[in-house]
Amino acid sequence: MDAREGFFCAAYDLRDMAELDQFTSARLEALLDWFRDNLDIPYRFNRTKSKGAFRRNTKGLSWFRPEADAILSKSYQMVALLQENGYEIDTLRSNRIGYIVYEDAHQVIAEPFSDTPR
């Protein structure tokens, strides 16, 4: 089972729409800038460390830590903006996210177990 795309993919898709109004565009860019400044980009999305692993399809899913209050707050603002513009966004929660391949104070990247929601 393939994973769904995350809301960052939807945000960049919305940003690239030609008919996006200036107000929405400014709100979206402000949120994306905030995430760029406050959320690290994970360096790994695969468990493998073999040569050429960076070229493989990634299996890892991104999860925010429940204690990452500021990140979650901005995430819900982004979700609201996306929903206002016709995107259907689901919030996934799980205690069994999979094999952890990256983690920091705000997020965890994990290759999902077979029963992990995706």
The pLDDT value recorded for residue 111 is: 85
What are 105's two structure tokens?
Answer: 């104070």
Those residues whose C-beta lies under 8 Å from the C-beta of residue 84, and which sit 6 or more positions away, are 24
The pLDDT value recorded for residue 1 is: 45
The pLDDT value recorded for residue 3 is: 55
The pLDDT value recorded for residue 44 is: 67
Contacts 24+ apart (CB under 8 A), 10-16: 10/82, 10/87, 10/89, 11/78, 11/81, 11/82, 14/81, 14/82, 14/85, 14/87
Q: For the chain, list residues with pLDDT below 50.
A: 1
The pLDDT value recorded for residue 107 is: 95
The pLDDT value recorded for residue 91 is: 87
